């Protein structure tokens, strides 16, 4: 059974709360405002925007006292052909010492900032120096569609359009209002990498756009399928390999999930079955498939996943596929609920005596949603 009321309750419990949303919005707004007020950095900054699972609405609720976590991308006019990554990163050190002294650390490709209520990742990027039409790129990255703090779940009508207004009412999605992909997609941002001492392409905007389109194609269920499967991974962390998780797992789900799913239960089942069936030969050969990034197709999303972890994950997902199919096909509400709860833990509520896919047939979760890991996916 789809057990829609139970899935609705389950998803309410694993989504970031309103408090978490306000925390990441407040932290990111403060950081962005301070950067634009900095006399040395502001002349270099074209735009800033949120990326990651928070922006794509695929994050699950942080637990165990952990803070919200959000990535803030800073788009600059730094000439990546002339300036070394280390030099570009050092430009931001005085700013960080002034506003976040003792609270920041330099990472390989970003700065981590730990506040009392939110963790921020400051991601410094540069516009491509050789873009054929720089003015169009500037207009796109300065648009409200890019700079908004609204997540895809908050604004289901989000579109990469100069006319999209974050302050207006949610409206129907208008596909032909989008900016032409030729104006922005072939031109990824450049990201400084301290490890390899070079700049490399990154395209978070393409990931956001792909997720928004996929979610609409899946009748609004895609982001919740991702959340549910991330929670499955959290719940079974002790028996699963360390990787894949986070974005690589999300990308795998999007790769195998068909469009036009009718419910989260159906989507979870089809995603597990897709991982089992589409990657079976790779698992048998003990190799890892190449999954191209949505924005930089030469990047392999699973590059850091070793074969042993992939084979172990495939086996676990295959076992979960069988359980999800039994839960979905079962005509007994109690049996179906028990199987779903076995996959997602006690935070998945069991149906009451009336059971089934009826709004009155469920009970509240016995305990608050608490995964076995404290990470914020």
42-66: pLDDT as tens digits:
999 999 999 999 999 999 998 777 8
Q: Among 69-83, 156-170, 275-289, 304-318, which is the least confidently predicted range?
A: 156-170
For residue 189, give every residue at least 6 positions away whose Cβ sits within 8 Å of its Cβ, in sequence order, or none.
73, 75, 125, 126, 127, 128, 201, 202, 203, 204, 205
Q: Which two tokens stand for residue 18?
A: 């309103």
Residue corresponding to tokens 């919005």: 25
pLDDT category of residue 273 using cuts at 50, 70 and 90 = very high
* Cα–Cα distance measured from residue 19 to residue 55, given in angstroms and rounded to the nearest whole number: 16
Which pLDDT value is given to residue 374?
Answer: 45
- Minimum mean pLDDT range among 22-36, 332-346, 363-377: 363-377
Q: Which pLDDT band, with edges at 50, 70 and 90, does 375 fall under?
A: very low
Phi, psi of 270 (to 5 degrees): -65, -35
Residues 6+ apart with CB under 8 A from 339: 323, 324, 326, 327, 330
User: What pLDDT is attached to residue 179?
Assistant: 87
**Considering the entire predicted model, what is its pTM?**
0.91
Q: Would residue 375 count as lying in a domain?
A: no
Q: Can you give the pLDDT at residue 360? A: 33
Evaluate whether residue 184 is within a structural domain.
yes
Instruction: Read off the pLDDT of residues 79-90 as tens digits, 9 standing for 90 and up.
Output: 999 999 999 999
Instruction: State the burial class of residue 262 (Cβ atoms within 10 Å of its Cβ: 0-12, 13-18, 19+).
Output: exposed
Q: Which residues of 179-217 are buried (b: 16+ CB within 10 A; e: fewer)?
A: beeebbbebbbbbbeeeeeebbbbbbbbbbbbbbbbbbe
pLDDT digits over 144-201, tens only?
A: 999 999 999 999 999 998 889 888 776 666 656 788 898 899 999 999 998 889 999 9
Give the closest residue to 107 by CA, choosing from 129, 127, 92: 92
Can you give the pLDDT at residue 206? 97
Residue 349, in any domain of the structure: no
Please indicate, yes or no, if residue 268 is contained in any of the structural domains. yes
In a domain, 217, yes or no: yes
The beta strand positions in the chain, using DSSP E, are 45-51, 68-76, 104-106, 111-114, 118-126, 189-193, 198-202
- Is 70 exceeded by the pLDDT of residue 106? yes
- Beta-bridged to residue 200, according to DSSP, are 191
Residue 86 falls inside a structural domain: yes
Of 90, 97, 86, the closest CA to residue 34 belongs to 97
What is the C-alpha separation between 355 and 161, in angstroms, rounded?
44
pLDDT over 90 (residue 129): no
pLDDT for position 177: 72
Helix (H, G, I), strand (E, B) or coil at 156: coil
Phi, psi dihedrals of residue 199, rounded to the nearest 5°: -95, 145
**Torsion sign across C-alpha atoms 152, 227, 117, 369:** positive
Q: In the prediction, which pLDDT does 366 show? A: 36
* Per-residue pLDDT at 188: 96
Q: Domain range holding 194?
A: 4-344
The answer to whether position 361 is within a domain reads: no
Catalytically annotated residues: 69, 71, 121
DSSP lists the bridge partners of residue 126 as: 76, 190
* Overall average pLDDT of the 15-40 stretch: 96
Confirm whether 307 is domain-assigned.
Answer: yes
Q: How many separate domains does the chain show? A: 1
């Amino acid at each position: 059974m789809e057990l829609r009321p139970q899935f609705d309750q389950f998803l309410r419990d694993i989504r970031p709360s309103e408090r978490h949303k306000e925390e990441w919005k407040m932290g990111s707004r403060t950081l962005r405002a301070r950067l634009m007020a900095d006399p040395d950095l502001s002349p270099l900054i074209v735009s800033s925007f949120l990326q990651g699972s928070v922006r794509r609405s695929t994050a699950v609720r942080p637990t165990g006292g952990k803070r919200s976590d959000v990535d803030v991308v800073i788009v600059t006019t730094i000439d990546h052909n002339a300036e070394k990554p280390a030099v570009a990163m050092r430009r931001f050190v005085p700013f960080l010492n002034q506003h976040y002294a003792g609270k920041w650390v330099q990472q390989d490709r970003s700065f981590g900032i730990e506040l009392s209520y939110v963790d921020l990742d400051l991601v410094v990027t540069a516009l491509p120096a050789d873009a054929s039409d720089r003015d169009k790129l500037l207009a796109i990255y300065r648009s409200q569609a890019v700079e908004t703090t609204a997540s895809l779940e908050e604004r289901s009508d989000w579109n990469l359009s100069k006319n999209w207004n974050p302050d207006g009412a949610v409206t129907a999605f208008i596909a032909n209002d989008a900016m032409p992909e030729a104006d922005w997609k072939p031109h990824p941002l450049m990201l400084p990498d301290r490890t390899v001492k070079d700049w490399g392409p990154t395209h978070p905007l393409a990931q956001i756009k792909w997720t928004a389109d996929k979610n609409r194609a899946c009748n609004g269920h895609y982001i919740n399928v991702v959340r549910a499967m991330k929670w499955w991974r959290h719940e079974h962390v002790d028996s699963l390999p360390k990787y894949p998780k986070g974005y690589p797992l999300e990308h795998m789900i999007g790769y195998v999930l068909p469009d036009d799913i009718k419910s989260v239960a159906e989507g979870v089942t089809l995603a597990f079955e897709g991982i089992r069936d589409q990657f079976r030969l790779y698992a048998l050969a003990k190799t890892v498939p190449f999954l191209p990034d949505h924005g930089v197709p030469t990047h392999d999303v699973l590059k850091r996943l070793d074969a042993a972890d992939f084979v172990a994950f495939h086996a676990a997902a295959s076992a979960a596929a069988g359980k999800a199919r039994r839960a979905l096909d079962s005509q007994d509400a109690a049996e179906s609920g028990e199987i779903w709860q076995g996959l997602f833990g006690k935070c998945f509520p069991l149906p009451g005596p009336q059971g089934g896919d009826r709004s009155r047939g469920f009970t509240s979760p016995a305990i608050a949603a608490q995964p076995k890991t404290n990470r914020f996916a």
